Amino acid sequence: MTPTTTAVAVGSAVRATGLRKSYGDHLVLDGIDLDVAEGTVFALLGPNGAGKTTAVQILSTLIGADDGEVSVAGHDLAREPDAVRVAIAVTGQFSAVDKLLTGEENLRLMADLHHLPLTEGRRRAADLLERFDIVDAARKPAMTYSGGMQRRLDLAMGLMGDPRLIFLDEPTTGLDPRSRRGMWQIIRDLVAEGVTIFLTTQYLEEADQLADRVALLDHGRVVAEGTPGELKRQVPSGHVSLRFADGHQLDRAARALDGSRPDGEALTLQVPGDGGVRALRALLDQLDRVAVEVEDLSIHTPDLDDVFLALTGQPDTVEVISR
Amino acid sequence: MSTLSYAVADSTTMLRRNLKHMVRYPTVILFVIGIPVVFMLLFVYVFGGTLGTGLGSGVTGGRTDYANYLAPGILVLTVAGGGQGTAISVAMDMAEGIVARFKTMNISRASVLTGHVLGTTLQSMLGLAVVGAVALLVGFRPNANPVEWLAAIAVLLLITLALTWLCVACGLVSKSVETASNLPMPLLLLPFLSSGFAPTDSMPDAVAWFAEHQPFTPFIETIRGLLLGTPIGSDAIVTVVWCVGIMLFGYLSARSLYDRDPSR
């Protein structure tokens, strides 16, 4: 089987133009364009229902698109799905492991389906069990595994076929913070080996931590795209938030500080600024001069949350992280 | 390797997976073997004395004759019962993420289904061996020669393949495991509305008409003829036609249900 390769720009692991998909009357993907360079981490970021999973299902050949030109791993998605399948691995939001089989049996099942020789398959299964820290539970049915362990097994199963491109659909949703950090490290290690990662997430911090480029997906449209740094520059700079004991203090502080925005209900004052030590000292000195007591102070540096809020206007769908 | 040898390799891998499921969670096998055994014991030892006497037409009657009459029907019931387990395990598979994984891998498309069918077939053959042995213990006395035995096994295999593909389609069309468990129920009921438990000429006209025109009567009459030497007539050819028809319908429905885009 030597599939004829379609000509695409070298260096693109995923290239989509005008990708469109609807379920009946419900438009899920409204003509999105994506370009993921080989060997990078690309994050598709968006709230629940934005169309992230649908995008992954289309790009991984599970479902068909209604419209759009898509090439994955250098092959046209519609014409050469099997050539695409050879190059990819998919780890879904719900673990795609055989829960009745043990971890080891799941890995050997993958080895058999990749037609690896028996000894080679067993060796690689043992290596992956070791690498993903599943050795102790290797002989236990996967249904007894914790969420984090099932997710690791799921990813390990995908690696059996030496994929060049890995789709991770919300790889850390539902995991505890420690498992999440473990998964991040695994992803970084994969990237170091030259694998391309296509990640979806609803956690802004995750995209910020892992991705080279981020696309913000909202209601089936890409509303912003760029490096995490570029996206952060699209929103106003950060601010310092001051809280006071009463409205009187708040008023005096608001008069003393130019450009500040008081909130009479919460007794807080937002002062624009990046929260650097020098600026902070100047701010406190100024308050001292007008003899205002600050009850509480917090610094808010711009993060992807701000980008998200600024671009989608959906404050209820994201967790705002105050720092 | 050629496409065909990949298909064979992948189907064998999937069969191994299904066999592991069966061995690890043997309740389905116990159910498949247990139900027909219980029915056989019930019908032979509770109803058999009376029913045997009613068989008429040249037999002396009684429990032993009824055991002989009943056994072929129970064998076919064993095959029909296995289908329910297939529908359930197919529906469970489809509900899990593992099948989505298989669909995004470059493996033989039908191998998941073939694995289920081959697994069920082996399970049914095991079930038939156990149920057949119990039948011999309770008085079943076949007078078949080796060729007739082989023919009977071949017919049972054909019926198994036909009903299993139908049940795979049932499992795929079901939105839930509960539905998958209920859909093949008629298959368990049909042997009772056939010549399996009582001759059709003892039934009211309408019931007898139904019994004579549904597939299980020719199935059972063919097995009965091969094992006990009763006349087969056109039942053999009718059985083959029914089986091929059911198998084709089941296979084609299963393939199109499995290949359909889950988003449409």
B10/A contact by beta carbon, under 8 A = yes
Question: What is the residue type of A58?
Answer: I
The nearest CA of chain A is from the CA of B79 a distance in Å of: 25
> Residue B187 in contact with residue B246, Cβ under 8 Å?
no
DSSP character string of A103-121: HHHHHHHHHHHTT--HHHH
A297/A320 Cα distance (integer angstroms): 17
> Residue A221 in contact with residue A30, Cβ under 8 Å?
yes
B264 belongs to a structural domain: no
Q: What is the ipTM of this complex?
A: 0.86
Total H helices, total E strands in chain B: 12, 0
| Stretch A286-310: mean pLDDT | 79
A61/B contact by beta carbon, under 8 A = yes
> Residue A205 in contact with residue A319, Cβ under 8 Å?
no
B58 belongs to a structural domain: yes
Report the DSSP beta bridge partners of residue A37.
A12
Q: What homologous superfamily does CATH list for A12-233?
A: P-loop containing nucleotide triphosphate hydrolases (3.40.50.300)
A216-250 confidence digits (pLDDT tens): 998 889 988 999 888 777 766 677 888 888 888 88
B188/B185 Cα distance (integer angstroms): 5
pLDDT at position A166 is 95
Q: Whose CA is closest to A14, among A215, A189, A177, A207?
A: A215
| Stretch A94-104: mean pLDDT | 89
Q: Given an 8 Å threshold on Cβ–Cβ distance, is B100 in contact with A1?
A: no
Q: Sign (positive/negative) of CA torsion A273, A274, A278, A283?
A: positive
Q: Given an 8 Å threshold on Cβ–Cβ distance, is A88 in contact with B261?
A: no
pLDDT at position A323 is 32
A125/A107 Cα distance (integer angstroms): 6
SS3 (DSSP) at A68: strand
Band of residue A14 on the pLDDT scale cut at 50, 70, 90: very high
A161/B contact by beta carbon, under 8 A = yes
Torsion of CA B174, B176, B181, B185, to 10 degrees: -40
Q: Whose CA is closest to B149, among B163, B137, B136?
A: B136
CB atoms within 10 A of CB B206: 8
| Stretch A73-92: mean pLDDT | 91
Q: Chain A contacts of B1, Cβ < 8 Å? A: 115
Strand (E) or helix (H) holding A177: helix A177-192
Which domain, by its residues, includes B119? 3-259
Q: Given an 8 Å threshold on Cβ–Cβ distance, is B106 in contact with A86?
A: yes
B260/A contact by beta carbon, under 8 A = no
Q: Count Cα atoms within 13 angstroms, Cβ side, for B97.
A: 18
In which residue are the tokens 């829960």 written? A99
> Residue A35 in contact with residue A212, Cβ under 8 Å?
no
How many separate domains does chain B show?
Answer: 1
A12-23/A67-72 β-pairing: antiparallel
pLDDT at position A320 is 37
For the domain spanning A239-301, the CATH number is 3.30.70
Which residue has better confidence, A259 or B38? B38
Q: Whose CA is closest to B25, among B123, B107, B100?
A: B123
B145/A180 Cα distance (integer angstroms): 67
CB atoms within 10 A of CB A320: 12
In which residue are the tokens 């981490």 written? A41
Which one of B17, B19, B104 makes the best mutation probe of the A interface by having the most chain A beta carbons within 10 Å? Answer: B104
DSSP character string of A16-42: EEEEEEEETTEEEEEEEEEEEETTSEE
Q: Count Cα atoms within 13 angstroms, Cβ side, for A282.
A: 11
Strand (E) or helix (H) holding B243: helix B235-259
* Residue partners of A123: CB distance under 8 A and separation at least 6: none
B16/A contact by beta carbon, under 8 A = yes
B205 belongs to a structural domain: yes
Is the model's pLDDT at B164 over the cut of 60? yes
- Facing residue for B107 by CB, picked from A62, A92, A113: A113
> Residue B164 in contact with residue B83, Cβ under 8 Å?
yes
Is the model's pLDDT at A43 over the cut of 90? yes
Q: Sign (positive/negative) of CA torsion A105, A110, A113, A117?
A: negative
Which residue has better confidence, A234 or B177? B177
Two structure tokens written together for A83: 């050539």
- Facing residue for B105 by CB, picked from A21, A85, A95: A85
DSSP state of A94: S
pLDDT at position A318 is 40
The pTM assigned to this predicted structure is 0.81
Q: Which of residues 59 through 118 in chain B touch A, CB cutoff 8 A?
A: 96-98, 100-107
Band of residue A37 on the pLDDT scale cut at 50, 70, 90: very high
SS3 (DSSP) at B229: coil
Question: Sheet of A268-272: strands edge to edge?
Answer: A261-263, A268-272, A239-243, A296-300
Is the model's pLDDT at A24 over the cut of 90? no
Strand (E) or helix (H) holding A201: strand A196-201
Q: Given an 8 Å threshold on Cβ–Cβ distance, is B6 in contact with A115?
A: yes
pLDDT at position A8 is 44
pLDDT at position A286 is 85
A57/A51 Cα distance (integer angstroms): 10
| Stretch A9-19: mean pLDDT | 83
Q: Given an 8 Å threshold on Cβ–Cβ distance, is B100 in contact with A96?
A: yes
| Stretch B171-181: mean pLDDT | 91
SS3 (DSSP) at B49: helix
A95/B contact by beta carbon, under 8 A = yes
Is the model's pLDDT at A317 over the cut of 50? no
Which one of A21, A84, A112, A170 makes the best mutation probe of the B interface by having the most chain B beta carbons within 10 Å? Answer: A112
CB atoms within 10 A of CB A145: 21
The nearest CA of chain B is from the CA of A42 a distance in Å of: 20
CB atoms within 10 A of CB B56: 10
B193-239 confidence digits (pLDDT tens): 999 999 988 899 999 999 999 999 999 999 999 999 999 999 999 99
Is the model's pLDDT at A321 over the cut of 70? no
Give the rounded distance of the alpha carbon of B253 from its chain centre: 18
- Facing residue for B105 by CB, picked from A95, A97, A113: A113
pLDDT at position B1 is 57
